Amino acid sequence: MTDSMRVAIASFGVEEFDTLHVACLEAGYVPVAYVNCRSMKPDSDTDSHAAHAAARIVAALPPGMDLLLPGNAEGLVEGLAGYQLDLLIVYGFNWKLPAAVLNVPRFGVVNVHTSLLPRYRGPAPVLWAIRNGDSEVGLTIHRMDERFDAGPILTQRGGIPLDEDVTPQRLWGRLRPALHDELTVALDMAARQVPGTPQDDAAASAAGFIEPEFSRVDWSRSAREIHNQVRMFAFMGRDCAPVAVVNGQQLRVFRTRLEATDGIRVECSDAPIWIVDSAPVTDPAEPR
């Protein structure tokens, strides 16, 4: 591998950029630009969450680092073209990247995905892992092609625990060192032009956006399913808590337990569940 290989990093948060940046430097790559996704789709308005994230990223930019906020894929191609890139690293970028972007860097584009691909292809692998009651998640770094999360695998690591009361901060504390180590391996493979191992499409599963109706608790489901539903929304934040009807009252459910404890006992299809943290729905605009 040659010295001072040039890389751009496309990601979504200060800590994520920092982790990728440090791993690149230690592997002999020089980050020359950051890319942040300012909207869920190309050619759409900047959403408030993305604007807040971009402000934090700007405040933490290393000296001399450029930040690209493209409005569409064509702008991203034009923005990256002048950097003479060896590699683009993607972690948590919302848009599907066309071939025109994938072909800009000399060694292509690698993507970081929080699952053991081909399981949980899509934008929400951790949410689906919690929803399905998985006890752990994995990390995959793969070559990116024009399909979502389907390119050849460079390196993987499993066994990253999902706690009962998992939070983004607690999970990131476990993901961060794994990401650093696996990216170091993947960067060396990318520089040596290792093609990677093709994924088994027959074993693939989807991790798309959560369907809107899942934000309502259906007591005809099993206690375990409902408990994991509440855990998944808790991971997203208290403002996202699902709504349940209990004794004729609508409640936002923040936390449940499957063992007998203080709280509201509710019968599910197979067993009781205890609501230990909730609040009445007070907004008249809430769905009934």
Query: Domains of the chain: which residue ranges?
Result: 5-203, 212-280
pLDDT, residue 285, reads 59
Superfamily designation of domain 5-203:
Formyl transferase, N-terminal domain (3.40.50.170)
Kindly report the number of other CB atoms within 10 A of residue 77's CB atom: 18
pTM above 0.85, yes or no: yes
pLDDT, residue 286, reads 56
Instruction: Tell me which long-range contacts 58-65 makes (C-beta under 8 A, separation of at least 24).
Output: 60/14, 60/17, 60/18, 61/34, 62/21, 62/31, 65/31, 65/32, 65/33, 65/34
Q: In three state form, how does the secondary structure of 187-218 look?
A: HHHHHCCCCCECCCHHHCCECCCCCHHHHECC
Kindly report the number of other CB atoms within 10 A of residue 31's CB atom: 20
Judge if 5-203 and 212-280 fold alike in CATH terms: no
Domain at 212-280, CATH from 3.10.25.10, 3.40.50.300, 3.40.640.10, 3.10.110.10: 3.10.25.10
Residues ≥6 apart with Cβ < 8 Å to 268: 219, 220, 221, 222, 223, 226
CB of 278 closer than 8 Å to CB of 265:
no
The SS3 call for residue 52 is: helix
Q: For the chain, which ranges sit under pLDDT 70?
A: 1-3, 284-288
Residues ≥6 apart with Cβ < 8 Å to 273: 223, 226, 227, 256, 257, 258, 265, 266
CB of 149 closer than 8 Å to CB of 109:
no
pLDDT, residue 40, reads 85
pLDDT, residue 1, reads 44
Using one digit for the tens of pLDDT, what is the confidence trace for 142-158? 999 999 999 999 999 99
Distances (CA, A) of 96 to 51, 147, 149, 234: 20, 8, 10, 28
pLDDT, residue 287, reads 52
- CA neighbor of 88 nearest in space, from 113, 66, 107, 72: 107
